[in-house]
Each structure stands twice: as structure tokens, then as C-alpha cells.
Amino acid sequence: MPVSIRLSVPVVMRAAVALAMYGVGIPASFAAGPQAASSDEAPFLQENDAAMTKMMADMSIRPTGDADRDFVAMMVPHHQGAIDMAQAELRYGRHEQLRRIAQEIVVEQQQEIVAMHLALGQPLPPSTPAPDQQEPASPSAGDAHAMSHHGMQMNMLNHTQKESQ
């Protein structure tokens, strides 16, 4: 009787990292899974494949002799890969619980990247908006003010000022 083994994502990721450290590539067919992608799922799978490929390439470092720096040099692309995959889930996924988990992954992994850089006294990476969080290209003038942080802050101040009067 065949034995079925279900591997968790962390187990598969650890195996992928271990293989990458020894220069063994992972075929895209493995990363995408055994089922053929539907046309609706193709963009999601392409983004995930690109994120995994970039992560694996960026994790392949030349050791410096400093375990701490080497650790950060490998973990930052690993965390960025998780962020990129979570953003693909946010763009294409529909399951609300998984979308919330993806949002948490983005925030937590970004915080850990910052913490690792700070721990080594390295400069922080530039701050950029997430692709799924960018504002529409051409809002009307009224909408642009309402969407800005400044506009929200002003509304909050006005509301607070009214309450105190």
C-alpha cells in the first residue's frame, strides 16, 4: 500500500534552503506543484516562481567568515521571498483567513529584516510601498486629499478639537 507523506511549508522551505546552500537548484515544476495551473492561477504561480527563484539566488552567498553577517545575508532574502509570496497571495488569493496571514507575514518579515540590519549596524533598506498598497494612478483632487495621511490626520485633529470644545 502506498504511503502518503504531507510536508509542511517550513519543512519544504528548510529543504529548499539546504539544497540551495549546496548549489542544487529546484525545478520550477516542483515549486509550482504537480497540478497544471489554470489560466486564472497562472499569474499567481508566475509571481511565486519568480519570488522563489530570486530568493534562492540571493541566498547563495560567498561566506565572509563572520557567521552573524552571513546569517543576515542569507535570511534577508529569505524573508523578502516570504514577503513577495505573501503579496502574491494578497493580489490573487480570496480566502480571508489566508489573506490576513499573508498581511501578518509581510509586516513581521519586514520588522525582522529591519531588526537584523539594526543588530549589525547596517543601513536600513529603502522604504517602498507594497505593490498591492499603491494608490490609484489618477484620483480626483478631492479624493487625493481624503486618501492622504495628512488629510486623515487633519480630519482626526478636527474631530478631536470639536470634542474638546
Q: Is 86 domain-assigned? A: yes
pLDDT value at residue 165: 46
DSSP assignment, residue 62?
A: -
Number of domains comprising the chain: 2
38 and 117, same domain (yes or no): yes
Cβ(19)–Cβ(26) below 8 Å: yes
Cβ(74)–Cβ(65) below 8 Å: no
Rounded Cα–Cα distance for residues 77 and 139 (Å): 34
pLDDT value at residue 39: 79
32 and 60, same domain (yes or no): yes
Amino acid at 142: G
Domain of residue 60 covers 9-134
pLDDT tens digits in sequence order for the chain, 165 residues long? 554 455 455 555 566 655 555 555 555 545 545 455 677 899 999 999 999 999 999 999 999 999 999 999 999 999 999 999 999 999 999 999 999 999 999 999 999 999 999 999 999 888 776 555 545 444 444 444 444 333 333 343 444 444 444
Q: Is 1 domain-assigned? A: no
Q: Is 46 domain-assigned? A: yes
Cβ(79)–Cβ(123) below 8 Å: no
Report helix, strand or coil for 123: coil
130 and 152, same domain (yes or no): no
130 and 142, same domain (yes or no): no
